[in-house]
Amino acid sequence: MDTNLDQTLSGYYIFGRDIMTIPCLRKCVLTGIGASISSTLLYFLFTSHGAKAAKCGYLTFIGVTFPYWYFCQNKFYAERFELEKIKNEIQKHYGDEYLTLDSLEDKKVEFAPETFG
34 in any annotated domain: yes
Q: What is the pLDDT of residues 64-113, one digit of tens each?
A: 999 999 999 899 899 989 988 888 888 787 766 665 655 555 555 554 55
Residue 63: is it exposed, middle or buried by C-beta count within 10 angstroms (0-12/13-18/19+)?
middle
Q: How many domains does the chain have?
A: 1
115 in any annotated domain: no
Q: What is the pLDDT of residues 10-53, one digit of tens each?
A: 667 877 877 777 788 888 999 999 999 999 999 999 999 999 99
Domain hosting residue 74, numbered range: 12-108
113 in any annotated domain: no
The angle at the Cα of 7, spanning 6 to 11, to the nearest 5 degrees, equals 105
4 in any annotated domain: no
Closest CA to 66 of 12, 9, 38, 24: 24
